[in-house]
Structure formats: structure tokens, C-alpha cells
Amino acid sequence: MSHPCLTCGACCAFYRVSLHWSEADPALGGQVPFELTEPLRAHERAMRGTSRSQPRCIALDADIGRYSRCTIHDRRPSACAAVAASLEFGERSPQCDKARLAWGLPMLMEADWTGVGEAERIPMPL
């Protein structure tokens, strides 16, 4: 069984992804590709596509509920890395649950994690 996020993508097509401008500034060690962001507020940028009334991150390659991948997963904003999938580490994620329900997907259950090894789970940032 694969990680449930690989067949979801709901959070990337539901939430605005805002980030501190330095996360997209290579001179300061930022890893998020600057060209995939847009100005938001004085010290913030947003992932392109997520500030619209029907958000969809420009880095999302997905058919929501069928397959999903982040094209910049290893360089994604800290806000994205901070959202855990529900029950991935034993607790519900209100963000995950809300996005899945908005897309008509059922909330994740313990059974969705059966067969997903520890090495496949997405580590939470420190």
C-alpha cells in the first residue's frame, strides 16, 4: 500500500500556501523556487495559484482523489511540510480532514495506513 497523500492532493487544492519571503530567496538559503511564488503581504509570498477563490498550487500534479504529487516536494514551503496527514502519526489532522471533506473524500482512517511502512511516512519538521 502507498502513502495516502499519493492518492489525495486535497490540501494542495484547498488552502492558500503562504510563506516568508526568505523561503524563496536563494541568497538566504531559501529552497522554494521563486518563480513558483507571488507577492502576498510585506514579508510574505504565496505559492502561485493558492490565493485564488478556488486554490490549486502550481506545484501540484494531481487528479484529486486519484493520484497526487508535489513537483517540488524536497523544496516545498515549511507551511506544507507542517501539515500532517490524518493519523499518519496517530493523531487526526484538522487541516487534512477539512480539505478531504471539501473535495468529497472520506477522512483517513487507521486502515488507510495498513501496509505503509515507517520509511514511507513523511517526517514532520522539527
pLDDT tens for residues 65-102?
999 999 999 999 999 999 989 999 899 999 999 999 99
Torsions phi, psi for 102 (to 5 deg): -65, -30
Which structural domain range is residue 72 located in?
4-110
- The structural domain count of the chain equals 1
| pTM of the entire predicted model | 0.88
The answer as to whether 69 is a domain residue is yes
Rounded-to-integer distance, Cα 120 and Cα 3, Å: 7
Are the C-beta atoms of residues 24 and 11 closer than 8 Å to each other? no
Is 45 a member of any domain? yes
pLDDT for 13-67, tens place per residue? 999 999 999 999 988 999 999 999 999 999 999 999 999 999 999 999 999 999 9
Please indicate, yes or no, if residue 97 is contained in any of the structural domains: yes
Assigned domain for 32 exists = yes
At 120, list the grid cell: 514511507
